[in-house]
Amino acid sequence: MAILDILNYPDPRLHTVAKSVSVVDEVIHRLIDDMAETMYAAPGIGLAATQVNQHIQLILIDTSETKDHLQVFINPKIISKNGEQDYEEGCLSVPGVYESVTRAEKVKVEALDRTGKKFILHAEGLLSVCIQHEIDHLLGKVFVDYLSPLKRNRIRTKMIKQQRDR
Ligand code: QAP
Ligand code: CO
């Protein structure tokens, strides 16, 4: 396994729209394993392939306390959503920044698991927020895109300084 480099905001590659996965083969399995290692090492609770510069529809989530419940979503689609909730979100691509975002309270998601089998999941709370945040990455969207232009520009400047001073 290997730890992959994570793209940092405002890298323009974070706005790439991901392509759907046509076959779940050993190449995808290798990417899943490397992304899992990368996410747990960070540590994070969610990671989209977009963030490791792989522009395919693949996300990993583990919101468990024990960090032993990896959830893999290939070609995920939100088929229904309802309600609203505000959550203080972060992102491995925007380190040190946490801001409140309003999203759906509950979502119903259809996806393929790591064996290529279709499943449907009903999610609420943190898992629901995380699924919506990670699917956004596949659409080329970062959570800071929901903030005001003023806040977003302050974050942009802070990130550029941070990366220059590293
Ligand atoms: C997305 O984010 C998420 O700033 C996953 O310095 C986050 O794993 C969805 C992280 C919150 C819903 C709620 C962020 C690690 C991890 C940082 C993450 C940092 C170190 C973020
Ligand atoms: Co993110």
Domains observed in the chain:
12-165 (3.90.45.10)
pLDDT of residue 37: 98
* Nearest ligand to residue 143 Cα: 2
Q: How far apart are the first and last CA of the chain?
A: 26
What does the pLDDT look like over 145-159, one tens digit per residue? 999 999 999 999 999
Mutation choice for ligand 1 from 14, 45, 101, CB with most ligand atoms inside 8 A: 45
For residue range 29-85, list pLDDT tens digits in order: 999 999 999 999 999 999 999 999 999 999 999 999 999 999 999 999 999 999 999
CB of residue 140 inside a 6 A radius of ligand 1: no
What mean pLDDT do residues 99-110 have? 98
Kindly report the pTM of this predicted structure.
Answer: 0.98
Fill in the DSSP letter of residue 45: S
Please list the active-site residues: 134
pLDDT confidence tier of residue 137, bands split at 50, 70 and 90: very high
CA of 23 from ligand 2 middle (Å) equals: 25
CB of 130 sitting under 6 A from ligand 1: yes
Ligand 1 close to Cβ of residue 123 (< 6 A):
no
Q: Tokens in use for 23?
A: 């076959």
Q: Among residues 141, 37, 34, which one has the least CA distance to residue 93? A: 141
The residue nearest atom 8 of ligand 1, judged by CA position, is 44
